[in-house]
Amino acid sequence: MLENKTLAFIGAGSMAESIIGGLLSEQLVSPEQIVVTNKSQQQRLDELQKRYDVQTTSSNKAAVEKADIVILAFKPKHAAEGISTIKGSTTDKHLIISVLAGLSTGYIEQLFEKETPVIRAMPNTSSKVNASATALCKGYYTNAYHLDMSSVLFQAIGTVTTIEESKMDAVTGISGSGPAYFYYLVEAMQTAATEAGLPDKEAKELIVQTLHGAAKRLQQTEKTPHDLYQEVMSPGGTTEAAFTLFKHHRLQEHFQEGIQEAINRSKELGASTKSPLT
């Protein structure tokens, strides 16, 4: 589906590189089909050109004029400025894919000031190891073909789920921020392991494999998380001792409250960009 398509990455940060690396490692496109632009950091473009043999340019306009698919991968706060440099070069034949967190398809469409097919994507930082959980939603001017192309693209860096845009704030709080929650848990487990006398290297190996195994078990069973942790517990045993303390401190409730705060913050950020004039 991407064989004859040229992709322009407007922005050359870590997310752009993750997608580029995934596409090339999966051989979905060749380096000649990718052009990357970053107007302020020529050194970064040189790094990507050397690492992946892709085309680079400091001109957003030149990149878009070569492309079929345009990936907006700069910082969300630069949306109006960035899109102003390319909107005169896009047509309804271009597909715009936005990975700009918090910015709706409607807002992006308004900035282009014409009927522009826009797909909004919410990957996470696990894209760096081709293990992202990415959510996609479509804008007003997109069709099934646009969504299929976007799905193929993001499957190069992990799994893809299609949702309604109204659910994107929840996705941001769950899977967008999600890797950080697990890193926070692992940090606590590593600290406990160190205090119990385990060497750091061995502790990390045990914890990471435990996390990997638990995730794999969840993927391969129809049992609920509650069922699975109950299986580990024995009356009067070690796991029950830990859970007694967790419940006393309402750990699960506080965790849920933290996620809700992330969702609320996503809504606030989105509300601040309802109009390109704000």
- pLDDT tens, 106-155? 999 999 999 999 999 999 999 989 999 999 999 999 999 999 999 999 99
Q: Do residue 52 and residue 135 come from a single domain?
A: yes
Phi, psi of 202 (to 5 degrees): -65, -40
Contact between residue 123 and residue 13 where contact means Cβ atoms under 8 Å apart? no
Is 14 annotated in some ligand binding site? yes
Query: What pLDDT sits at residue 277?
Result: 38
- Residues 97 and 116 reside in one and the same domain: yes
Average pLDDT of the chain to the nearest whole number: 94
Is 133 one of the annotated binding-site residues? no
Q: What is the pLDDT of residues 28-37, one digit of tens each?
A: 999 999 999 9
Q: Is 55 a domain residue?
A: yes
Confirm or deny that 262 is annotated as ligand binding: no
131 and 29 part of one domain? yes
Nearest to 85 by CA among 111, 104, 118: 111
How confident is the model over 92-105, as pLDDT tens digits?
899 999 999 889 99
pLDDT at 271: 83
What strands, in cross-sheet order, belong to the sheet with 95-98?
55-57, 34-37, 7-10, 69-72, 95-98, 118-122, 132-138, 158-162
Q: What is the CATH number of the domain that holds 212?
A: 1.10.3730.10
- 83 and 130 share a domain? yes
Residues 35-73 pLDDT 10s: 999 877 899 999 999 999 999 999 999 999 999 999 999
Same domain, 120 and 202: no
Residues 31 and 78 grouped into a single domain: yes
How much is the pLDDT for 66? 92
Domain extent at residue 101: 7-168
Does the annotation flag 75 for ligand binding?
Answer: yes
Cβ pair 69, 99 in contact under 8 A: no
Is 236 annotated to bind a ligand? Reply is no
